[in-house]
Structures are given as structure tokens and as C-alpha cells.
Structure 1
């Protein structure tokens, strides 16, 4: 799961990432990475160097490690109690790091409004993450096999069958289309247009809580 620093010792992430999981075990946060990866040797290899970086408070000491990923241990996971898991569940969790982060050029907290004021209507918002991307691809006989190898989660538009294994059994005698889901490997950013909660309720035909921000998406 992705997350953002909101201070030198707290990371904001999604609560559903920890649903039904043991949060008292050993957890690590990777900082400064733009690649979606699992826990790697790279993170372990730099552990001792990272401890030195965390204690450092000078630009000179940061110079050699500026571009390296920093791995920090999580001390505590704070998840709000949920009455239910509706469309607008409070899907937020705070991770308290065991030690404060020493900010670098590439590792900084996000900008937050002061005194909890609401953002102005003309402000530009940006969403960042590795969110799953959906899309339609159309292919011929020759490209069918290559597509099945490239994408893990494929749904046949005609038969509605899911998974690459099932799609491999589908007929490839005629050109067709598939609905593809894949997880990007690189961090992505896009601007988001915020709409009012009244407009959001009209589009969704349901009540929208005041703590939620709505976007047109697309």
C-alpha cells in the first residue's frame, strides 16, 4: 500500500491495508521510492546506512545518500473504529514510525492546510499512487498470446470470464477485445477536479458525509 508523510514521524495510509492483519508484528515503511516493489534486499542492505542518515542533521552527511531509499520501522498502527464498511468508510490509518525521519530533497511531508480550513475552490489537487488501472484492449490472433503473458488479470468481454488462465482457453479465431487490469510499477500523478458535496450526492444518488471530498474523475 502507498502512503504519505504528514510529519517527521507519522505516515498516512489506507485502513483497509491492515484489515484482518496482525499489526503488532514487524512493519517497515519505504521512503523515497517511485517504484512499486515488495520488501527487497536493497532495503535491508542499506539499513545501517539509513540509521546513520536518520541521525544526520547536516547537508554534507546527506549528500551521498540523497537518492537512496530509506526504510523506517513502524512503532504503532492506528486504525479508526468502523461501524460498517460502507461506500464512505473511514479508510484512513496512521503509522507512527519508531524514529523521526530526517527529511531530504526527495523525502518530504505533504502540504496540509493550517487550522483545518477548507481548500479554496480554485486550488489544484493532485492524486499520487500505484492504483490499479482498468482499460480496454483490442487485438488480433497474433497479439492474443502476448497480451495474456503481459497482463495477469484479464476479463473476456464476450464470455465475462476472468483470470489469464481462463482467457487462454477462449477462442482466438476472431479479433476481439479484452478488459485489462494491471498494476503500474512506477508512481503516477494526476490532477483532480474537486466538486461540491451537493453535486457529488446528485451524481451518486446517495448521501455524502462532510469529511469526504468528491472528484469528477475521468
Structure 2
């Protein structure tokens, strides 16, 4: 298992459930609240210098990148494991609008921008793991996530963790939803042509 795990996603993708599940494992601890900008190799040293719950050389440091923090670590990508998680727009936008009180127009712009940003990073990280929210709902896939990270314990991703990621769908104008869906399908097609690992072939 590599020393550092990065979880790249967008708001309300289900990443919170995956993050908490990974954070509950013996060796992995998340530090997303630190909001680190990864500008160079010393940023990774800053991350791995933080106090960890396990005083072990095998301790793993995790960060979740949801927003447009600076991330310029191309020469250090081989030191890290990368997980990408995206979700179809219908439920994502419903949650963004409901919980953040964003306008539908703003939510769509933010969603599409974030998908593009994820793709920009993903194309430079061959061998990374790519997930959709639907993957998290399939119990068999959890073992595959464990294998990717070389975890020596069970990853517990329960309905209790996933349920806050679900929302009653709210009305969004057809043209806005179509714009978001087109963006999702475009970037999903792009990612599927990169050298990544997929669970839902």
C-alpha cells in the first residue's frame, strides 16, 4: 500500500461515505479538514508530517479533493494512490441545490467544471481507480476497492454511511439537466479511454 491516498470527487458524489469508510480502517487516516494546497513535493511532506492515529511506518495518509485546490504534483504521482469518484447529475444536483441553497444554474456550472477538473488530473494518473456512485452500492465492488489499496482488512461501507448521500429529486429545468447529463457522459467517455481501473466494465 502506498503512503498517500488521494480521493478526487465532486460535491455530493458519495465520496463522504467512502472517505469515512476508509478513515475507519486501521492504517488509513484522512486529513481533508487541513485543506492543503499541493504545490510541490514539500506539500506531501507536510501531509505525512501530520499526527497520525497510528505511530507506524505503514500508516497511510488520505486527503479528499472536492474543490479546486491547487494540485501540481505530477512528478510525485507515482508515490500516491488515486481514487476518482463521480455521480450522475440528477441526484447530485438535487443535493447541491437543497443542501447548499445554490441556484440550479450555479449548481450545473460547478458540477460540470468539477468533472472537467477531475479528468485533467485523471489522465495523468494511469492505474488509478475510477468509481461511480453506483459502484459503491454494490457489495461485491467493495472487495475490489480493498484489493486496489491492498488493504489487509474489510472495508465497511454500510447503508448508514450511504443514506445521507441520497436525496429526493427536485425539479430542475430540462435544458439544465440535459446540459449536466451531456457533460457527465462526455467526461465519462473520456475517462474510460484512459489507462485507469474500472469496476463497472
- Do the two structures share a fold, i.e. TM-score over 0.5? no
Q: Which structure shows the bigger proportion of residues in helix conformation?
A: 2
Q: TM-score, normalised by structure 2?
A: 0.23
Greater RCO structure (CA 8 Å; 6+ sep): 2
Q: TM-score, normalised by structure 1?
A: 0.22
Q: Which protein has the larger Cα radius of gyration, Structure 1 or Structure 2?
A: 1
